[in-house]
Amino acid sequence: MEAGDESFTQKKEKAKKKKPKLLNKFDKTIKAELDAAEKRRKRGKVEEALKAFETLVADYPQSPRARYGKAQCEDDLAEKLRSNDVLLRAIGSYEEVSTLPNVPADLMKLALKRRANRQQFLGRTRGSVVTLQQLVQLYPDDISLKNDLGVGYLLLGDNKKAQEVYEQVLLQDPSNGFAKVHYGFILKADNKIAESIPFLREGLLSGEPGTDDGRFYFHLGDALQRAGDKEAYTWYEAGYKKGHFASVWQRSLYNVNGLKAQPWWTAKETGYTDLVRTLEANWKIIRDEGLAVMDETKGFFVPEDENLREKGDWSQYTLWQQGRKNEKSCKAAPRTCAFLERFPESTGCRRGQIKYSIMHPGTHVWPHTGPTNCRLRMHLGLVIPKTGCRIRCANDTRSWEEGRVLIFDDSFEHEVWQDADSYRMIFIVDAWHPELTQHQRKTLPAI
Ligand code: LMR
Ligand code: MN
């Protein structure tokens, strides 16, 4: 670094650390009382401090600093009591600060930022977005507020609004790494693969706070793979080194650490030999129920909708998902569902599905990775053309056989080709990773 840069950086640091001005003219006249209350709060005497600030608010209802102190005490108390009701009071008090006359700009910003943060914490995303909109209006030069607002829109699923926000940020500050990764992420979600790459790449290279997130490595690698660029693995490697992926091949983001991890499994290794035997012994019944649905009730088969295909025709008919049985679907395949009822390791797998999968000739499924390492995926071959159907998991490519079960861990990268001259049908049965405890199977959040 050059000397000139250094002094610039130092100046920037100083500017950042500049103490915010929290007192207006009036509050300066009651500074001693405010300081005394604040001192108690800083010492962790939350209840005492809250009383002191409440008294100040009663005596000086127009004092922004007293109101802010009250809000912070409620905030601390909510944390201490783990109480959402108290936190809601704090959220309300932060807003009251913003409605008082002569609020110093710094105090206003602190109060509203904390309000938005706590709203988001409580899952009140819409409310937090409203607060952030207010902040952006009040402080149009503060880019970090726009960046936060963009995240709020993304949490609401409003990618279009988020995109607009990040476009504005990048006009204001073209090298903003946080905006770049998020903008790239939005383009990627919109299937604008080539356009997403430079934004994701440059955003990650910026190393800015908020950019080091597994999802950005995941989607940059995925975009590069789809573009046929080997640089993908450089990013997977980087994501692995940063601790986001269990390995370069295994890139699921919702994991339990330490579970045995290998791409392909034998029935014996899983311990689910009874389930595998049941599937293989009854494969014709399972097949015939699937075929009947395909012929008569096509609506049960839903085209794959996760944008995993480069090309082709692939649809699925789901019997269980997230550990819940679809009663209507099961009415159409009663014997198959009856076989499965005996196997809670699968029907109770809240991080998986049980489904038929039909893939037509001319289909290619991009290399992809499932969301979690908590399940293993069984494929029972039902209608398998003699040649042309393959599945690669990590660096090992296999083919299905009718009446036989293949087992793989779909948290490893896998890819599928269907180049036969007729359709392929398999039955997919997910099961909990055998090393998960009963307690984990009960308590892990569904995916
Ligand atoms: C997958 O699970 O990604 C695919 O292998 C499913 C399929 O139908 O081949
Ligand atoms: Mn898959």
More confident residue, 299 or 387: 387
Q: Which ligand is nearest to the CA of 317?
A: 1
What does the DSSP assignment read for 29-40?
HTHHHHHHHHHH
CA–CA distance, 132 with 311 (Å, rounded to integer): 41
Binned at pLDDT 50, 70 and 90, residue 4 comes out as very low
Split at pLDDT 50, 70, 90, the class of 27 is very high
pLDDT for residue 5: 44
pLDDT band at 6 (very low <50, low <70, confident <90, very high): very low
Instruction: Examine the pLDDT at 22 and tell me if it is beyond 90.
Output: yes
Query: Is the pLDDT score of 17 beyond 90?
Result: no
DSSP letters of 234-297? HHHHHHHHTTSSSSSSB--SB--TT----SEE-HHHHT-HHHHHHHHHTHHHHHHHHHHHHHH-
Exposure string for 18-31, b = 16+ CB within 10 A, e = fewer: eeeebbbeebeebe
The closest residue, in CA terms, to atom 5 on ligand 1 is 416
Which CATH number applies to 18-214? 1.25.40.10
Q: Write out pLDDT tens, residues 271-327.
A: 999 999 999 999 999 999 999 999 988 889 999 999 999 999 999 999 999 999 999
Assess whether pLDDT exceeds 50 at residue 9. Answer: no
Instruction: Name residues whose C-beta falls within 8 Å of residue 97's C-beta, 6 or more positions apart in sequence.
Output: 64, 67, 68, 71, 103, 107, 108, 111
| Whole-angstrom distance, CA of residue 126 vs CA of residue 183 | 21
State yes or no: pLDDT of 3 exceeds 50: no
Q: What confidence score (pLDDT) does residue 15 get?
A: 56
Span 213-271, pLDDT tens digits: 999 999 999 999 999 999 999 999 999 999 999 999 999 999 999 999 999 999 999 99
18-214 and 264-443 in the same fold: no
Domain ranges of the chain: 18-214, 264-443
Of all residues in the chain, the percent with pLDDT exceeding 70 is 96
pLDDT at 403 over 90: yes
What is the spatial distance between Cα 10 and Cα 243, in angstroms, rounded to a whole number? 31
Ligand 1 mutation pick, 301, 391, 425, max ligand atoms within 8 A of CB: 391
Of 313, 315, 357, the residue with max ligand 1 atoms within 8 A of its CB, to mutate for a pocket test, comes to 357
Q: Collapse the DSSP code of 375 into the 3-class scheme (helix H, G, I; strand E, B; otherwise coil) and give the result.
A: strand
In the chain, the percentage of residues whose pLDDT exceeds 90 is 95
237: tokens are 């490697």
- Residues in contact with 425: Cβ distance below 8 Å, sequence separation at least 6, in sequence order: 287, 290, 291, 294, 356, 357, 358, 359, 382, 383, 384
Domain 264-443 has CATH 3.30.1490.20: no
430 CB within 6 A, ligand 1: no
Instruction: Judge if the beta carbon of residue 357 lies within 6 A of ligand 1.
Output: yes
Q: What is the pLDDT of residue 203?
A: 98
Distance 42 CA to ligand 1 centre (A): 56
Virtual torsion, Cα 368, 371, 377, 380, nearest 10 deg: -60
Residue 7 pLDDT exceeds 50 = no
428 CA to centre of ligand 2 in angstroms:
10
Which atom of ligand 1 approaches the CA of 424 most closely?
Answer: 8
pLDDT of amino acid 13:
53
For position 151, what pLDDT does the model report? 97
pLDDT at residue 18, as a whole number: 81
Please give the single-letter amino acid code of residue 251.
R
Q: For the chain, give the mean pLDDT.
A: 95
